[in-house]
Structure 1
Amino acid sequence: MQDWLAQRARSTPDKLALVFGDRQWTYSELDAWASNLAAYLHARGVETGQRVGVLLPNQPVFVALIHALVRLGAIQVPLNIRLTEEELSWQLKTAACEFLIVNPETQSLISSEIEVEILDLAEVPESPVSNLESLIDTFNPDRIHAIFFTSGTTGKPKGARLTFNNHFWSASASAYRLGVLPDDRWLLCMPLYHIGGQAIVLRSCLYGKAIELQDGFDVDAVYQSMANGQTTLVSLVPTMLHRILDKYDTSAFPEALRCILLGGAQTRDDLIARSHELGLPIALTYGLTEAASQVATALPEGVRRKPGSVGKPLMFTEITIQDEDGHKLSTNEIGEIIVSGPTVMAGYEGQSDADGSINTGDLGYLDEDGDLWVVNRRSDLIVSGGENVYPAEVEAALLKHPAVQEACVVGIDDTEWGQHVAVALVATDIDKDELLDFARKYLAGYKLPRTLVFVRKLPRTASGKVIREKVRQIINDEMMVTI
C-alpha cells in the first residue's frame, strides 16, 4: 500500500495542496518534494523505524517533511521551538532520537553536546540524491506515525505514540462532524509541532483539500486570510480570536468562512457572547493529543443553542464520566472524562500500551442530550495562550535557586491568554528579575511566571499538602509584583 500523499497525488495530481504567502504547490508537486526529502534523509542514514526529532518553525518544508518521514517509515518526534536547550535535550533523549532535523534558524537552539546526528535542511539538494523507488517503505496504518510530547497531568511531558490509524479515524470523524466541501481551504496558523497543526496536514491530504499555512499566529495575517473569501475553516485557540476581535471589525467576514474551530483551552463566556453578536460561526471543540486531536465538537448552531458546551463525541468515540472509584456517573453528574475509541493513542513512550481508553484527568459532565460540558481541564494544569504548562515543572526550576525555599505555581484567569502563570514564593534575598533570569535557563518563555507573590509561608493542610486554591486566592488578593 502507498502512503496517503502518494495515493492523493495519483488521484488528484493537479489539485491545490499547499499555499504559503504567494507560493502554491499542487499534490503532485508536494509529492515530488516529499520524495526528494526522503531520498536525502535516506542518504544521510535515516531508516525505517528510527526516531527523528524535528525542530522547525511553520514553513512549507515542514509539511513536505511530515510526508517524507512517512515515506521512509521513520517515526517523527516534533519538538516545540520555544523550549530551552535543557528541555529539548531531555525530550530527544526520552524519545531515543537518532537524528534531529533543523534549519539555520533553529540549529542555534540546540546544545553542542547533544548526542544525536544533526541534519540541516539547508543542505538538501534540489534534485533527488538517489533512486527513491528502492527506499519506499510499505505503508502500514498500524505503525507509529509520531511521538507527540503532551503535558498530561503531573511531572514532565509524556510522549504520546500515535499511529496512522489514530489519525485516519480522527480525520474520518472530523469529516462526519464538520463536513467536507469541494472548495474547502483550511487556514493553518497553529504550530506544526502540535497535534492540532499536524492533524490538519494529514486530514487535508486524506480529503484532497488545500492548506493555507502561516508562519505562526500573526493577528494581521490571520485576519486578512479569514477575510479573503477563500478560507473556509480555521483552527484557533481562544487567545487568538480574542486578539482578532480586539483589533478588527469581523462582522464583514465572507460567508465562505463557515467554521472557526476553537479549542486548546476553555473559551470564556464573554468571548462566546461577543462572537455571537458579530455573527461568527464558532465551533467549540474538546481535544487531546492522546486522541489525535478532536474528541467532541459543537457546531456553530449547537454553540448558539448551548453556549459553553463542546457538543457530542465525534463518531467512533465514546465518552463516559466516572467518579474517583471508577464508577460510571449519571447524566449531569460531574466526574472525570474518560475517552475511548480508535483515535486513542498506542500508549505513552516508555510505558505499557494503552487499551483504547484514556483517563483524561479533566472534569466534566454529559447532559440529558449527551452533550459534553468541560468543567475543569486537568486540575492543576495551566493553559496559557493554548500552551500547556506544568506547575510542577515550573516549581522545580524555581527551587533550583538556593534563595527559594518553597514555591507554588498556579494559573490565574487572564482575559487575553485564558490563564497566565503565577507563583507564590517563600524566598530570601532574591530579586524578581534575578530569579526570572535564572529560570530562563530551564524554562521556555511561555512557562515563566508573569506574576510573583512573596509570602512568609504557603497554606497547607494538616497533612502538609499545599492548598493550591488558597494560594490562588492569595495571589489574586495580595498581588505584590506583576511582570
Structure 2
Amino acid sequence: MLTIPHALLKQAAQQADALALQDGDMSFTYQELSDVVGRIAGVMEAEGLKKGDSFAIWAPNSAQWVIVALAGQMLGGVLVTLNTRYKGSEAADILKRARCRFLFTIRGFLGQDYEATLSEFDLPDLKQTVIMQDGLSTAPFENYLSRAGEAVTEPRVNEDDLADIIFTSGTTGAPKGAMSSHGQNIKVFEAFSSAIGMTEKDRYLVVNPFFHSFGYKAGWLACLIKGAAIYPLAIYDPAKVLEQIQDDKITVMPGAPTIFQTLLDYPQRNDFDISSLRIATTGATTIPVDLIRKMREDLAIDNVYSAYGLTESTGVVSLCSATDDVETIAKTCGRPLDGTFVRIVDDEGFDVPTGEAGEIWVKGFNVMQGYLDDPSATAEAITPEGWLKTGDVGISDDRGYVKITDRKKDMVIVGGFNCYPAEIEKVLLQHPDVQDVAVIGVKDDRLGEVTHAHIVAPALDEAAIIVWSRAHMANYKVPRGVTFHDSLPRNASGKVQKYLLKRN
C-alpha cells in the first residue's frame, strides 16, 4: 500500500533496530518510532480525530513534529502545516479555511507563544490545542502520550486519500491550499530519493523547515521511504551545523544555496571534519556556477544536485543527475522525474521551439489534487487534460534539461524587449562583491518599464554596479537604478519577497 504510515510500518518490519529519528536526547529506532506513533494515534482517536479530519502543526523541526504528523496520518487525518513565521492572523486564516480540528504547537520558540497569538480569533472547528513542547521541556508531549487511548497498529488510510494540505508561500497574494494524496507523495519521493542515491545507511540532517515540502517531503518522508535516519534541525547556525555533521556523521543535507554559502564563508570551517557528507541538493533560479564547484571541491560533497519543484507539483518537477557537470547543475534543474512530463508553451498554450522561453507546464503523478475549496483557482491552474500551469518561465534544451528563467508574472518588458529578472540576477551574482540580489521592474515614462536591482554589496555604489552591468549584459537589461540593503527580505522557504521590495 502506497501510504505514508505504511512506509513507516514497512521499515519497522524490515529493520526494527535501525536508527529512525534522533533529536538531541530523543532517539527512536524504527520499531520504537512505529510504537510511539501508534500510541499517539490512539490518543488522537480517543479524543476525536477521525478519518478525513484536518489537523495542523505549528512548530519548528523536531522529533515530536514527525511523530504527530505520522500519528494523524495513521488515522487518515489530513496534515496542515503552518509556517513558523506566521502571525496569529495568518495562522488563524489557514486553520479556519482548512477546518482544522486539532492544533499541535509549542511555547518558547524564539520567544513565541503561538497558542496565545490565536486567542482573539474565532476558530469554530478547532476542538483541541496540544502543546508538544514548552521551552526546553518535553514534558507536555510525554503527558499527552500518557493519556488514555488504545494504540493504533493498522493505518486507516489508502493511497488515494488526502495526506496533506500545504499552503503556498503567498509571496504575491493570499496562500492557496495545495492538496496531495498519500500515493503521489510516496511515488514522487521514492523517485526523488532513488535519484539522489539515498539508502538505509544515510543520516539526513533536515535543515529545511518541515512546514515546507523541502523539509517534510524531500526531508523526513524521503528518509522514511528509504529507511534512513532523520536528524531534525530547528534553528540554522553554521557553526552548530558543521559540528553536528562531524559528530553525527551526517551524510545527506539538502538546502537553499544560501545555506551552503554560509558554510563556505564560516571562518573556522576547516576545524571540522565533514567528510561524511556525501549528498546535497539545492535549487533556485540563480545558482552561481562557482558555488556548485565549491560545494564539490571545498566542502568535498561527492554528489551535488539541483532540483526544481513547487507545492502544486508535490514538491518536485525535475532533478539533475550525479553525472552532470558543474555548469549543468548550476544552470539547469535537470530532467523531469521518470513518468512525468514537461512542456514549454507560449501564451496560447502551444509548444515553443527547443531553446526558446515559455511557461513550464507539468503533467503526471506529481500534479496536486487541486486547491482546497477553490475550484476556480484549480481550473485556472490545471488544464482539462491534466497539465499544471506552473507560472514559471523556462527553457528546455535538446537533452530535455529544464532551465528556469523567471516567474511569468515577474517578466519586465523594457522598450518592447522581454527581460527576465532571474537572468539578470545570475549575471550580477558573478560580481565578486555582490552577496545577494533581487531584480524587479519599475515604471518608466519612456520605456514603459525598466529593471531595478536590490543588492547586498557593502563595498559598492550605484554607479559602479551600473558600469559593471553595461560590460556584462545587453543594455536593455542593465538596471537603471540600484538600492542597497543589509539583507533581502526572504520567506521561510528562502524565496525573496519581491512584493516588499516593490513597496519601497
Which TM-score band (shorter chain)?
A: 0.7 to 0.9
SS of the residue 1:87 aligns to? helix
Distance, in Å, in 2 between the alignment partners of 1:302 and 1:99 is 45
- Could you tell me how far 1:461 is from its partner in structure 2? 7.2
* Residues 269 and 179 of structure 1: CA distance in aligned 2, closer, same or farther (over 3 Å): closer
Tell me whether 1:317 sits opposite 2:347 in the alignment: no
- Render the CA deviation track for 1:211-248: whole Å, top value 9, x for unaligned: 11111322122222334472221111011111111104
**Which sections of structure 2, spanning at least 5 residues, go unmatched?**
109-113, 133-139, 412-424, 456-461, 463-478, 488-504
Distance of 2:482 and 2:224 partners within structure 1: 52
Q: Cα gap change, 1:269/1:364 in structure 2, threshold over 3 Å: closer, same or farther?
A: same
Q: Does 1:332 align with 2:355?
A: yes
Distance 2:103 2:439 in 1: 30
Residues 201, 228 of structure 2: 8 Å contact kept: yes
The secondary structure found in structure 2 opposite 1:231 is coil
Structure 1 residue corresponding to 2:313, chosen from 267, 274, 291: 291
Q: Distance in 2 between matches of 1:298 and 1:229?
A: 27
Structure 1, unpaired ranges of 5+: 382-409, 425-457
- Aligned partners of 2:451 and 2:481 also within 8 Å: no
* Equivalent position SS for 1:129: coil
The residue aligned with 1:437 is none
> Is the contact made by 2:257 and 2:283 (CA closer than 8 Å) also made in structure 1?
yes
Q: CA deviation at 1:367?
A: 1.0
The 8 Å contact of residues 459 and 470 in structure 1, kept in 2 or not, is answered as no
In structure 2, do the counterparts of structure 1 residues 323 and 196 end up closer, same or farther at CA, with 3 Å as the change threshold? same
* Cα deviation digits, residues 11-46 of structure 1 (max 9, x gap): 321111011134421011111211222122223222
Decide which of 382, 391, 397 is 1:367's aligned counterpart: 397
Show CA shifts across 1:324-355 (max 9, x none): 11011222111111111101110111223656
Report the CA distance between 1:71 and its aligned residue: 1.0
Aligned partner of 1:257 in structure 2 is 277
Paired residue total: 418
Query: Aligned residue for 2:373?
Result: 350
Which range moved further: 288-297 or 63-72? 288-297
Change in CA separation of 1:246 and 1:92 when aligned onto 2, cut-off 3 Å:
same
- Among 183, 192, 214, the alignment partner of 2:233 is 214
Question: Hey, what does 1:459 align to over in structure 2?
Answer: 443
What TM-score comes out, normalization by structure 1 length?
0.77
* Match in the other structure for 1:78: 81
Match of 2:208 among 190, 204, 219: 190
User: Which of 17, 20, 32 is matched with 1:17 structurally?
Assistant: 20
Give the conservation status (yes or no) of the 8 Å contact 2:26–2:63.
Answer: no
Distance 1:42 1:182 in 2: 31
2:415 corresponds to: none
Query: How has the CA–CA distance of structure 1 residues 418 and 349 changed in structure 2, closer, same or farther, with 3 Å as cutoff?
Result: farther
Residues 1:469 and 2:488 are matched in the alignment: no
Task: Measure, in 2, the Cα distance between the counterparts of 1:96 and 1:192.
Answer: 21
1:250 deviates by 5.9
Which whole-Å CA distance do the structure 2 matches of 1:139 and 1:33 have between them? 18
Cα gap change, 1:85 to 1:328, in 2 (>3 Å):
same
Q: Does 1:282 align with 2:266?
A: no
Q: Aligned match of 1:271 in 281, 286, 291? A: 291
Q: Give CA deviations for 1:256-308 in whole Å, capped at 9, x if unaligned.
A: 32211112563233423433452444211112111222221223541425242
Distance 1:164 1:365, change over 3 A: same
Q: CA deviation at 1:136?
A: 5.3
5 Å matches for 1:322-471? 322-352=345-375, 354=382, 356-377=386-407, 379-380=409-410, 418-419=436-437, 459=443, 467=449, 469=451
Instruction: State how far apart, in whole Å, the 1-side matches of 2:486 and 2:226 are.
Output: 47
> Is 2:37 the partner of 1:34?
yes
Change (3 A) 1:254 1:223: closer
When residues 141 and 302 of structure 1 are mapped into structure 2, their CA distance, relative to the original with a 3 A threshold, is same
**Inter-partner Cα distance in structure 2 for 1:480 and 1:3:** 51
Which residue of 2 is the match for residue 405 of structure 1?
A: none
Deviation, 1:113, is: 2.6
Per-residue Cα deviation, 1:45-66 (whole angstroms, up to 9, x for no partner) = 2211111121111111001011
Which piece of structure 1 moves more, 412-421 or 193-202? 412-421
Residue in 1 aligned with 2:324? 302
The structure-2 alpha-carbon separation of the partners of 1:237 and 1:482, relative to structure 1 and needing over 3 Å to count, comes to closer
Q: Percent identity?
A: 26
Distance 1:222 1:313 in 2: 31
- 2:490 is aligned to none
**SS of 1:66 mapped into structure 2:** helix
In structure 2, C-alpha distance between the alignment counterparts of 1:232 and 1:324, rounded to whole Å: 43
1:113 aligns with 2:121: yes
- The alpha carbon displacement at 1:72 in A equals 1.2
Give the residue type in structure 2 aligned to 1:190.
N
User: Secondary structure, in 3 states, of the residue corresponding to 1:294?
Assistant: coil
Length-normalised TM-score, structure 2? 0.74
Cα distance in 2 between the residues matched to 1:323 and 1:251: 52
Match of 1:151 in 2: 169
Counterpart of 1:360 in structure 2: which amino acid?
T
Change (3 A) 1:72 1:237: same
- The RMSD of aligned alpha carbons is 3.4
Q: 1:100 to 1:127 in 2, by over 3 A?
A: closer
Give the conservation status (yes or no) of the 8 Å contact 1:160–1:348.
yes
